Amino acid sequence: MSKLQNLGEFEQIVLLAILRLKESAYGVSIRAEIFECTGRKTTSGALYTTLERLEGKGYLSSRVGEPTPERGGRAKRYYRISASGLDAIVRAQRTYRCLMDGLELAGGSHA
């Protein structure tokens, strides 16, 4: 069993948000994207530990942008999904789809 499949739910959400944001994925925009898509308010602690963990696993890479005055002279750290990260999210989503296949949830009480 490959380690690539070991993605938690929040890790998948973060990776998908970064994928959606393309080149402009940094802390604030990732958090805003997650809120917009899921309605979930993410704490900084949860977000940055997940980003560090995903980077440690090699699923993300990061680069430092230019410092800006509105951030008190501090630079943004932009995140980008790596090939192994993309592979991991595709595998995780495929697993979900496989499990969902044949289940008729659309007309259920939670639809």
Partner 1 sequence: MPRPAIAEGLLSLVTTPDRAASIVGDLVEESRSHGLGWCSLQVLGTALALCSSSVRADPWRWLRLAVIGLVVWFGAQAVMVVVTGLPWYPWQLAFRAPGFWVRVASIACGANLLTGLILGRWASNERLNGVVPLVAFWLVVSFTSPLLVWLFFHAGSPNPAFPYHHWLVWALRALLSLFYSLVLVLGGSLARPRADGAHAATTR
**67-96 positions binding partner 1, by CB under 8 A:** 67-77
Least distance to partner 1, CB of residue 97, Å:
30
Q: How many CB atoms lie within 10 A of CB 14?
A: 29
Least distance to partner 1, CB of residue 107, Å:
40
Nearer Cβ to partner 1, position 46 or 100? 46
Question: Please, are residues 15 and 33 in contact by the beta-carbon 8 Å criterion?
Answer: no
CA of 57: how far to CAs of 80, 83, 84, 102, 106, in Å?
13, 12, 9, 33, 35
List residues near partner 1 by CB under 8 A. 26-28, 31, 43-46, 48-49, 52-53, 56, 64, 67-77
